[in-house]
Each structure stands twice: as C-alpha cells, then as structure tokens.
Structure 1
Amino acid sequence: MQRLIFLSAIGGLGLAILLGLGSWQVQRLAWKADLLEVIQTRIAAAPVDVPLTPSEAQDRYRAVTAAGELGTQELHVFWVTKEAETGYRVISVLETGDGRRLLLDQGFVPAADKDTRRSSAAVLVTGNLLWPDEGDWSTPAPEVDTNILYARDLAYMAEQLGTEPVLIVARSITPETAVTPQVVTAEGIPNNHLQYAITWFSLAFIWAAMTASFLWRSRAKSEG
C-alpha cells in the first residue's frame, strides 16, 4: 500500500508540474498577443516628433518624424533580405535642426553598392524608433577596416558616429535616396506559446495515462 501511495504522489506531482507549465504558456500566449497589438498600434500610428529622452519600454516601435541633415559617414551592417539578397543596412547620422544627432537606418543596399559614395542632404524622415535585439556571443565583432557590422549594436554605433543611442529605422526619406528602406514590422516577432501549451498539456495527458496504467498494474500484482 505504501508503494502505491508513493507512486500516486510522484504521478500527481508530475501531472501538476506539466499542467502548471501548460497553464503558464496559455498566460504567455495572452501576454504576447497583447504585446503584438501594442507594437502594431505603435508602428501604424501617426508619426510624432522624436521624444527628447525616449525609452525602450515606452517608445520602442513608436512612429516618428524628423527633419535634418543626412550625414555622409556611414556604418554598414551585413544583412540578408527576405528575398535572400545579401547586402548591407546603411546606418548614418541625422542631425536635426535643433542640433540633435540621431542614428538613422536608411535601409538596404546590395553588396555591390556598399562603398558607393552618398552625398549629404537635407531630408525629412518618417520611421520607427527601434532598440534592435540582435547578436549574441557567437556574433562576429565589427570589422573596423572594412566597415562591416554583424548586428545593430546601439551603443557601438552611437559611439562610432558620435550620436545619441537613438535609432530611427526609416519608412520613407524625402527626397528619396538610392537606399531602399526596410520598414519595421511585427512579422519577425514569434508567438509560439500556443504550440508550447499544447505540448505541455499533451505530455500531461500521456503522463496521467502512464501513471494510471502503472498504478493499475501495481495494484493488480499486489492483490494477486
């Protein structure tokens, strides 16, 4: 009898853990859905002036507009487009009329156009503020000699170009440049929590069935 009680306790504990993990993923699913709605709302909203002290929590993906002088100094971030074309994102300085120096992700150029000289110009930019979440321990360090980055590191880019650590990803630049804007969207943000929840609940069902079967056989043996 003690053995059956012990096995029942272990089975019940395992079932509770699996059900708890499944319930947690359901909660995460609702949280991610709300987050995506906030992101999509910010992206599609009417653009506003760039806040004086933007924060990632309050202003990530916020639609903004800014007028200023487009700098000629650039950083090039290695990139592969959705169409599998390799090239670079062009990061430059946008110096606004009130003297702010902001980072501007102008968009994409093919690899062949990486070193094409682009002139300074007065422009009007509409885009979205972004704090990129790119790179990890395996990301190569920037190649200073060839001016190639492998992630949009805000702190590094701001230091190199002498700007605020504030990045505008262009949606449009007027007048147009030879760089193709890469519009910010919510498409790349995963929401796999439903799959995770189904997995945990399925494991819970299997665990419960196996536990019940094991207990039934153990009881039958003890009674036999």
Structure 2
Amino acid sequence: MRLILPLIFGLGGAALLVALGLWQLQRLDWKEGMIADMASRIGAPPIALPRDPDPSADNFVPVSLNGRVDGRPLRVLGAWREGGAGFRIIAPVETEDGRRVMVDLGIVPLDNVDREAEVALTEDSLEITGNLNWPDDLNPGTPDPDGEIWFARDVNSMAETLGTERVMIVARNVVPEAGPVPVPVGLEGIPNNHLGYAIQWFGLALVWLGMTVFLLWRIRRRTI
C-alpha cells in the first residue's frame, strides 16, 4: 500500500506532463499551418481591391490600386519591430473609382515627421501595391488618441475619424514615393515557441518519473 499511492501519483503526474507536451505539438502543427497560409496569401499576385473585403477571409491578401491622398493623415506613434521608433502614416486615399480607404504608407523617423507628412499629402495620383490588413495593435494600456497622433492602428476608429471604409492596405510599394518608407506585411514577430514548450513538458515528465522511481526506491528500502 505504501508503494501504490506514490506510484499512482507519480504516473498520473507524468501522464499529465506528457499530455501537455502533446498539446504543444498539436499547437505547433496548427501554428505552422497558419504561418504557411499567411505566407501563401502575402506572396500571391496582387488583385484589384475587393468590393466588400472580409477581415477574416481577406486578411493579408495582396491588392493594387490607384488613388490620391484625400485628407490629412493620422500618425501612429510606436516602436515598430519592422522599422524602429517613429510614426506610421495612415492616409485616407480616394481611389479612381471613388472609394475611400486607409493606406498605411509606412514609417517616418520622429525627427522628420512634419516634412514627411507634407510629402504624403501630395496631389499626385499614387500607384499603391500592398496587403489588406486589420492589425491588432490595441492592448488594455493603449492611450487614447491625442489629436492626429494615435498609439495603435485601430481600423474601426480610424475609419470613422478619416471618413473611410473600414479597410486598411499596408503599402508594399508606392509610385511615386509618398515620403514614408513602406513596411510591408510580413511574418516577422509571429511567435512560434511551441516546440520548445513541448520539449520542456516532456523533460519535466522524465524528471517526474525519475523522482517517482527514487521515492519508491526509498520507501522500499525502509520497509526491508
């Protein structure tokens, strides 16, 4: 009886740790599939801007359009993984067929934002290639906008402020150059640590089994 309870406890704990490791392997398979799907979307040939794009079905889809900046852009302050600290310039763009959408023209350094924003207000027609995106920059600590300066790309709120559709294109290429340096949508920064977590859980399971064997050995020696 002295051996049965520790054995059950040890095997049960090891089984739980192994189950957590297997769950992480399932998550790894799901994450790799998601990343592969994103990569295939991002790298596909650009299409015309869909009439009614869907945030789930059309996220990351490459598009091309012609239009001009129609209104003063919003500036989103942040330290961006892709381009360092600076402002992302989110401009309202009127397309040739009369639609109004938002275009993330890219990042400008903090010390050049006034000059670059003026360049972004050019009257020239722009040829824009990029990806539809509904970024998720918001978190519980995000401050409210301060005039034209925002602290996250909130598609719905920005669309209401700029009077556009709830559609954002993250520019990959703009002709002629609009001032900001485009930061295309990419796979950088997507965490995929599930294999490491699985190895940790399996390692803990081995340690747990080793401790169980040692405990059983100690108990058995005391009873001899």
Return the TM-score normalized by structure 2: 0.92
Unaligned runs of 5+ in 2: none
In the alignment, structure 1 residue 165 sits paired with structure 2 residue 166: yes
Name the SS for the 1:65 alignment partner: strand
In the alignment, structure 1 residue 203 sits paired with structure 2 residue 204: yes
Structure 2 residue corresponding to 1:126, chosen from 109, 129, 145:
129
Name the SS for the 2:182 alignment partner: coil
Name the SS for the 2:71 alignment partner: strand
Aligned Cα root-mean-square deviation (Å) = 1.7
Q: Distance in 1 between matches of 2:123 and 2:38?
A: 32
Query: Residue 12 of structure 1 aligns with which residue?
Result: 11
Once superposed, which parts of structure 1, at least 4 consecutive aligned residues long, lie more than 6 Å away?
Answer: none
> Which residue type is aligned with residue 198 of structure 2?
A
Return the TM-score normalized by structure 1: 0.92
Query: Residue 53 of structure 2 aligns with which residue?
Result: 54
Q: Is the 8 A contact 1:71 1:121 kept in 2?
A: no
In structure 2, the CA distance between the partners of 1:157 and 1:84, relative to structure 1 (3 Å rule), is: closer
Q: CA deviation at 1:99?
A: 2.2
Query: Residue 213 of structure 1 aligns with which residue?
Result: 214
Q: Distance in 2 between matches of 1:22 and 1:82?
A: 30
Q: CA deviation at 1:64?
A: 0.8
1:113-137 deviation per Cα after TM superposition (whole angstroms, max 9, x unaligned): 3233232331111001111121311
TM alignment of 1:168-207, pairs within 5 A: 168-207=169-208
> Which residue type is aligned with residue 16 of structure 1?
A
Unaligned runs of 5+ in 1: none
Q: CA deviation at 1:156?
A: 1.3
Q: Distance in 2 between matches of 1:219 and 1:52?
A: 75
Q: Distance in 2 between matches of 1:24 and 1:100?
A: 46
Q: CA deviation at 1:53?
A: 2.1
Q: Is the 8 A contact 2:83 2:183 kept in 1?
A: no
Deviates more, 1:167-176 or 1:50-59: 50-59
Q: Distance in 2 between matches of 1:83 and 1:64?
A: 21
TM alignment of 1:130-149, pairs within 5 A: 130-144=133-147, 147-149=148-150
Q: Distance in 1 between matches of 2:60 and 2:82?
A: 23
Q: Is the 8 A contact 2:83 2:107 kept in 1?
A: no
TM alignment of 1:104-115, pairs within 5 A: 104-115=103-114
Q: How many residues align?
A: 220
Q: CA deviation at 1:81?
A: 4.7
Q: Distance in 2 between matches of 1:201 and 1:180?
A: 45
1:30-65 deviation per Cα after TM superposition (whole angstroms, max 9, x unaligned): 111111111111111100112222223221111111
Deviates more, 1:159-168 or 1:81-90: 81-90
Name the SS for the 2:104 alignment partner: strand
Q: Is the 8 A contact 1:106 1:179 kept in 2?
A: yes
Identity of aligned residues (%): 43
Q: Distance in 2 between matches of 1:108 and 1:36?
A: 25
Q: Is the 8 A contact 2:88 2:104 kept in 1?
A: yes
In the alignment, structure 1 residue 70 sits paired with structure 2 residue 69: yes
Q: Distance in 2 between matches of 1:56 and 1:207?
A: 45
Q: CA deviation at 1:111?
A: 1.4
Name the SS for the 1:169 alignment partner: strand
Q: Distance in 2 between matches of 1:76 and 1:170?
A: 15
Q: Distance in 1 between matches of 2:15 and 2:58?
A: 39
